[in-house]
Amino acid sequence: MLDDTIAAISTPLGEGAIGIVRISGPQAIAIAETVFVPAVNKFWQKQTYKLVYGHVFDQTTGKIIDEVLLGNMPGPYSYTGEDVVEINCHGGPAPLRKTLELICRAGARPAEAGEFSKRAFLNGRLDLTRAEAVIDMIRAATEDALQLAVNQLSGRLSRAIDDILNELLAIVALVEAAIDFPEDEVEDYSPAQMAIRLTAVIAKVRELIAGAEIGKVYREGIKTVIVGKPNVGKSSLLNVLLREKRAIVTAVPGTTRDIIEEVLNLGGLPVVLIDTAGIRDAGDEVEKLGVARTLAMIDQAGLVLMVADAWAGLDAGDEEIIALLQNKRGILVLNKIDLLQDGLGQVKNELAQKLPAWPVVEISALQEQGIKELEAAIVDLVTGGLALPADGVMVSNVRHKNLLFKALEHLTEAQEAVGTGLTPELVAVDLRAAWETVGEINGRAVTEDIVDKIFADFCIGK
Ligand code: GDP
């Protein structure tokens, strides 16, 4: 099935100290032999799981392309389960591209996105939850998000899913025995017994679903936008937040002007600030970027920080923005409290009436007062006070969560069928559907389409 050999540059293209070209498949070693000359270890093929020093050269011209370290990892003890050779080149586009070109000339096929991981799955080296954890690790923006992915990669989720599958299989076997031998008393098969076991499985599925919401937030972060009329202190607030907690800055490509995303790390929660560049450049996004743009930003956001000037009070400009915020989740940030002599009862009450579901936090961006409280309010609102379990199993992938919901439906139907005294045949239909649905999570029951779709989400070389 996997009789061709694939190759790709497995590190990001750009300048770096090293870059790696990975080859996987039955011809990996033979192909490497055509491009690699060892400096010392003539029989490098025998030096497995060690790095061998040498050169990549172009056989047709005899020219040396790069000075490299080569790692030979024969299957099945490799990432893909096949023979894998990795060549550590110098990390510039030219040596990497040339090396890959030579390898492809020698018979390898350029790998598709995620193809190495897909092979790892098809060869039984990784189940689907673990393969997906590999993407999550690469994309993790904070340590907690990384920890979630590491837990998933270590197979904890996979084992929890396997436990559910095994129990379901045992129940299905009982029901089928009752179908096949209706005359005999099948041990353990009674509606009461079934109901107990089904309730236990349902509880396990529910537990995984409950953890999913919070897992998603920690993995993907919460998209946040800061809004407010001119001069209320949006950029001052942004700068204070970034100075304390900046995690990562990324550019989102494919937009007219690449949108800058800055990620704050609030106790492990990645808070992704949308279009912070816009806030800084334009000063006032409503006036200069227009209401439509502001609306679009608010639309995308899972959380809005609405900044108002506690000293100047509210006016039509604030009202205009507040009107855009109905049905959104957010925090009212009353800024410039350092200017107040005698409290801010009036403004605070007015604001609280306009957006009653929103917590109000008082700050001074200038004097850095109330920032900790604001950060705590953000975390509280987004996580609903739920902490990330330190070593628990947590579903953080949307695909997994949807499948768990679907499985829960089938299981509930099975439970109802048992409860209302339906025949074992009818119970079995729901149970089998539940088993297949849960099996799609880790790949024990999965179609080729689903596999292709999952791995297409990977980057080239992974
Ligand atoms: P933006 O237009 O909403 O981004 O507002 P800026 O952050 O540019 O702030 C506008 C003005 O308000 C600047 O002169 C800031 O120094 C000032 N400012 C911002 N935050 C505070 C604050 O907490 N207290 C005081 N007194 N002034 C502030």
330 DSSP β-pair partners: 304
Span 284-297, pLDDT tens digits:
444 555 567 777 88
Span 29-43, pLDDT tens digits:
999 999 999 998 789
Query: 106 in the Ramachandran plot: left (φ > 0), alpha (ψ -120 to 50) or beta?
Result: alpha
- Residue 255 exposed, middle or buried by CB count within 10 Å (0-12, 13-18, 19+): exposed
- Residue 299 exposed, middle or buried by CB count within 10 Å (0-12, 13-18, 19+): exposed
Higher pLDDT, 23 or 421: 23
Beta strands 51-58 and 36-38 are: antiparallel
Cβ(75)–Cβ(82) below 8 Å: yes
254 vs 251: CA distance, rounded Å: 10
| Ligand 1 mutation target, pool 229, 231, 281, 368, most atoms within 8 A of CB | 231
Q: Which helix (H) or strand (E) holds 96?
A: helix 93-105
Is the sign of the CA dihedral 350, 354, 356, 357 positive or negative?
Answer: negative
From the CA of 234, how far away is ligand 1's center (Å)?
A: 7
Residue 387 has pLDDT above 60, yes or no: yes
From the CA of 235, how far away is ligand 1's center (Å)?
A: 7
71 vs 350: CA distance, rounded Å: 67
- Residue 18 exposed, middle or buried by CB count within 10 Å (0-12, 13-18, 19+): middle
Span 216-239, pLDDT tens digits:
787 778 999 998 888 899 888 988
Average pLDDT over residues 70-77: 95
Give the model's confidence band at 191: pLDDT under 50 very low, under 70 low, under 90 confident, else very high: confident
Which protein residues touch ligand 1 with a CB less than 6 Å away?
228, 230-236, 283-284, 335-336, 338-339, 364-366
The reported pLDDT for the residue numbered 61 is: 94
For residue 228, give the ligand 1 atom closest to its CA. Answer: 3
From the CA of 232, how far away is ligand 1's center (Å)?
A: 6
Beta strand extents in 221-374 (DSSP E only): 222-227, 246-252, 259-266, 269-273, 303-309, 330-335, 360-362
For residue 238, give the ligand 1 atom closest to its CA. Answer: 7
Is the sign of the CA dihedral 315, 321, 324, 328 positive or negative?
Answer: negative
The structure tokens 């990977």 sit at 458
Task: Specify the 3-state DSSP secondary structure of 306.
Answer: strand
The reported pLDDT for the residue numbered 254 is: 46
Q: Which helix (H) or strand (E) holds 9?
A: strand 6-9
284 vs 278: CA distance, rounded Å: 9
From the CA of 230, how far away is ligand 1's center (Å)?
A: 9
From the CA of 325, how far away is ligand 1's center (Å)?
A: 22
Beta strands 360-362 and 330-335 are: parallel
Average pLDDT over residues 5-10: 95
Span 146-168, pLDDT tens digits:
877 787 777 778 888 889 999 99
| Ligand 1 mutation target, pool 226, 236, 334, most atoms within 8 A of CB | 236
Buried b (16+ CB within 10 A) or exposed e, 376-403: ebbbebbbeeeebeeeebbbbbebbbeb
Q: Whose CA is nearest to atom 19 of ligand 1?
A: 233
Which residues have CB under 8 Å from 172's CB, separation 6+? 428, 431, 432, 435
Q: Whole-structure pTM over 0.75, yes or no?
A: no
Q: Whose CA is nearest to atom 10 of ligand 1?
A: 231
Span 302-349, pLDDT tens digits:
999 999 998 888 888 888 888 889 889 999 999 999 988 776 667 777
Which residues have CB under 8 Å from 309's CB, separation 6+? 231, 232, 233, 334, 335, 336
The reported pLDDT for the residue numbered 97 is: 93
Residue 249 has pLDDT above 80, yes or no: no
From the CA of 304, how far away is ligand 1's center (Å)?
A: 19
For residue 239, give the ligand 1 atom closest to its CA. Answer: 7
